């Protein structure tokens, strides 16, 4: 049953996919052999200021506590960028969709270079791909114009029909899993999932752990934008039905080397997108061949340390040493 559910969810995405453009003209990436572990890292000082001009000797990599030799090192501008934009359009977010549409449009126009691509997916009671891989701002804007309240379409549904007085379901974890495993796993270069949501999951078939694992296996970084309509939840006494919220977003973002941004009156969505853009422009791509050569599917802990103790690296917490035939 679990495989059937995943297949049905994946078909909804794959049926809308367009042929991808050739990558012959894409610049070389650090993933040059199957034994290279790739890490995207951002570095901040004690004041939280991003550090954009560091070099390979500034970094130390530990895998399961053992030092590793950095084999490849480059700044983010040398690598193509693939963005999966996931927008929560469940009942709790319906009043925010217009703001999300405008801010995301501006973000795409400013961050996408000629070698970069993005896709757009909305999720609520179901996941729907609104625009497949493209470099076209026009097509992405057309996809954004389709953002709407997500309601079930019948057939295999992601969860039970909500009871009266409860918010509609939100398949957040399923959407992240699909973006990572069905869309990003086979891509090269920098891979980013940007999810705009209040963090509440209602009705996903998969647990958060599987969404995180899928992102780690696809080398994708999850950036979460916590955007809550407090007016919506105040009608229910301020309770967050189903739980999750900010803690769930931290679990996904922290494990993959991302960041959680909170939108509020003093920190509007367009400013959050500007901060996200700045962070992605100051990333470092690091690659190494692990001293543990076993491809046994086990989880390996990663720790990115800075030589300068006043600096702190933000990077994923680990990876899965998957077998070659599973990559």
Burial (0-12, 13-18, 19+ Cβ within 10 Å), 312: middle
Q: Which of 22-31, 107-116, 174-183, 275-284 has the highest mean pLDDT?
A: 174-183
Tally of CB atoms within 10 A around 119: 24
Whole-angstrom distance, CA of residue 116 vs CA of residue 80: 5
pLDDT in tens, 57-108: 999 999 999 999 999 999 876 678 999 999 999 888 888 999 999 999 999 9
Task: Tell me the three state secondary structure of residue 59.
Answer: strand
Least confidently predicted of 149-163, 173-187, 306-320: 149-163
Tokens of 234: 């105040």
Spatial distance between the Cα atoms of 266 and 316, rounded to a whole number of angstroms:
29
Task: Find, among 241, 205, 191, 188, the residue nearest to 26 by Cα.
Answer: 188
Pick the CATH number of 2-17+79-280 from 3.90.1300.10, 3.40.50.410, 3.40.50.1000, 3.40.50.720: 3.40.50.410
- Report yes or no: 290 and 39 within 8 Å, Cβ to Cβ: no
* Proportion of the chain above pLDDT 70, given as a percent: 77
For residue 28, is pLDDT > 50?
A: no
Residue 10 in this model has a pLDDT that exceeds 50: no
CA 312 – CA 243 distance, rounded (Å): 31
Using CA atoms, how far apart are residues 192 and 118, in angstroms rounded to an integer?
9
What is the C-alpha to C-alpha distance for residues 218 and 208, in angstroms, rounded to an integer? 16
Instruction: Tell me, yes or no, if the pTM score tops 0.95.
Output: no
pLDDT at position 58 is 98
* pLDDT at 189 (0 to 100): 84
* Span 189-240, pLDDT tens digits: 899 999 999 999 988 999 999 999 999 999 999 999 999 886 665 555 554 4
SS3 242: coil
Q: For residues 253-286, b (16+ Cβ closer than 10 Å) or e, as one string?
A: bbbbbbbbbebeeeeebeebbbebeebbebbbbb
How high is the pLDDT of residue 285? 92
Mean of the per-residue pLDDT values of the chain: 83
Q: What are the residues whose beta carbons fall under 8 Å from the beta carbon of 29, sequence distance 6 or more?
A: 79, 80, 188, 189, 285
Name the DSSP letter for residue 124.
S
Domain boundaries, the chain: 2-17+79-280, 37-77+286-326
- Over residues 240-263, the mean pLDDT reads 84
266-298 pLDDT, tens per residue?
A: 999 999 999 999 998 889 999 999 999 998 989
Q: Which residue carries 């497949």 as its tokens?
A: 132
- Across the strands, what pairs with 197? 226
Q: Over 90: is that where the pLDDT of 51 sits?
A: yes
């Amino acid at each position: 049953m679990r495989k059937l559910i995943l297949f049905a969810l994946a078909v909804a995405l794959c049926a809308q996919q367009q042929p991808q453009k050739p990558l012959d003209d894409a610049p070389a990436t650090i993933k040059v052999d199957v034994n290279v572990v790739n890490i995207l890292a951002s570095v901040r000082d004690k004041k939280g200021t991003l550090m954009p001009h560091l070099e390979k000797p500034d970094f130390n990599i530990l895998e399961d506590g053992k030092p590793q030799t950095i084999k490849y090192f480059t700044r983010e501008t040398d690598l193509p960028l693939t963005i999966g934009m996931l927008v929560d359009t469940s009942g709790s977010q319906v009043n925010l969709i217009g703001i999300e549409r405008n801010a995301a449009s501006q973000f795409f126009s400013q961050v996408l270079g000629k070698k970069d691509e993005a896709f757009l997916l909305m999720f609520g009671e179901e996941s729907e791909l609104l625009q497949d891989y493209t470099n076209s701002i026009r097509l992405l804007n057309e996809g954004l114009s389709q953002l709407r309240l997500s309601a079930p379409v019948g057939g295999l549904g992601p969860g039970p029909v909500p009871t009266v007085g409860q918010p509609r379901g939100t398949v957040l974890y399923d959407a992240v899993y699909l973006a990572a495993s069905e869309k990003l796993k086979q891509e090269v270069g920098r891979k980013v999932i940007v999810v705009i949501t209040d963090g509440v999951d209602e009705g996903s078939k998969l647990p958060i752990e599987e969404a995180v694992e899928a992102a780690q296996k696809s080398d994708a970084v999850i950036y979460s934008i916590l955007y809550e309509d407090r007016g919506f939840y105040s009608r229910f006494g301020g309770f967050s039905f189903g739980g999750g919220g900010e803690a769930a977003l931290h679990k996904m973002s922290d494990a993959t080397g991302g960041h959680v941004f909170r939108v509020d009156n003093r920190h509007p969505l367009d400013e959050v997108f500007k901060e996200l853009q700045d962070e992605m422009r100051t990333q470092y791509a690091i690659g190494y061949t692990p001293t543990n050569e076993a491809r046994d599917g086990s989880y390996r802990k990663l720790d990115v340390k800075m030589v300068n103790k006043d600096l702190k690296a933000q990077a994923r917490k680990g990876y899965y040493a998957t077998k070659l035939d599973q990559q």
